[in-house]
Amino acid sequence: MSKPIKVAVIYGSVRNGRLCDAVAGWVADRVEARADYTLDVIDPLAEGLTDLRGTDGATEKAIAARLSRSDAFIVVTPEYNHSFPAALKHFIDGFNEPWHAKPVAFVSYGGLSGGSRAVEQLRQIFAELHATTIRQVVSFPNVWAHFDPQHRWRDMERGDRNLNVLLTQLRWWASALRDARAGADYRTVS
């Protein structure tokens, strides 16, 4: 097998009591269980990067380096008012080159739509950042129904199946683009 893909799982919600801990935690667990990936987890709340004021600059530099080292991203996002959370936009906007020429996959959740409107809008943002988004999405409509009151998953069989497909497709893109970046510097392509 080729070198493992370095993937960063990115938290989309910074809300108190967020379900994102449970959803992103599940994604991270499943990624860790696979030999074809190595995992980084980036939580803008834990890093203090929830708005564009940023920090003293050192945190941004450290996160930029982690994003730059990553071959692929999985953004775990809820839907807020038919879009994605403002804090996630701030986080994405805080970086530019680290996103370039890399694939982005989504795990989304929410009410009726399962976060699909958040995902469709994120595709536009990542196109501007020279990233490619992959079609396969794992989404959880009526996300509350998937948890008990302690935010423990009830049944992950369908989720596990869908996430495995997503991870296999993401690996294809990440591997192809990693080879392409190694062959030619994307910044010089015009």
Ligand X SMILES: Cc1cc2nc3c(=O)[nH]c(=O)nc-3n(C[C@H](O)[C@H](O)[C@H](O)COP(=O)(O)O)c2cc1C
Binders in 129-148 for ligand X, by CB under 6 A: 143
Pick from 7, 10, 18, 75: which binds ligand X (CB under 6 A)?
A: 18
Q: Could you give the dihedral angle defined by the CA atoms of residues 72, 78, 83 and 84, in that order, rounded to the nearest 10 degrees? A: -50
Stretch that binds ligand X, among 27-35, 79-87, 126-134, 167-175 (CB under 6 A): 79-87
Q: How far is CA 29 from the centre of its chain?
A: 14
Query: CA distances (Å), 128 to each of 90, 93, 132, 164, in order?
Result: 15, 11, 10, 28
Q: Is 171 in the site for ligand X (CB under 6 A)?
A: no
Helix (H, G, I), strand (E, B) or coil at 126: helix
Q: Name the residue type at position 137.
A: V
Residue 23: both structure tokens together: 């959803």
* Rounded Cα–Cα distance for residues 133 and 47 (Å): 25
Stretch that binds ligand X, among 35-43, 106-114, 120-128, 131-139 (CB under 6 A): 106-114
Q: How far is CA 128 from the centre of its chain?
A: 16
Considering just the CA atoms, what is the radius of gyration of the chain in Å? 16
Stretch that binds ligand X, among 55-63, 75-83, 121-129, 180-188 (CB under 6 A): 75-83
Q: Is 20 in the site for ligand X (CB under 6 A)?
A: yes
Q: Is 86 in the site for ligand X (CB under 6 A)?
A: no
Total of chain residues touching ligand X, rule CB under 6 A:
15
Pick from 69, 82, 158, 187: which binds ligand X (CB under 6 A)?
A: 82
* Rounded Cα–Cα distance for residues 8 and 82 (Å): 25
| Shortest CB 147 distance to ligand X, Å | 9
Q: Is 107 in the site for ligand X (CB under 6 A)?
A: no
Q: Which residue in the block uniquely carries the two structure tokens 């996002």?
A: 77
Pick from 9, 13, 41, 175: which binds ligand X (CB under 6 A)?
A: 13
Q: Is 81 in the site for ligand X (CB under 6 A)?
A: yes
Pick from 5, 9, 79, 146: which binds ligand X (CB under 6 A)?
A: 79
Site residues (vs ligand X, CB under 6 A): 13, 15, 18-20, 78-82, 110-113, 143
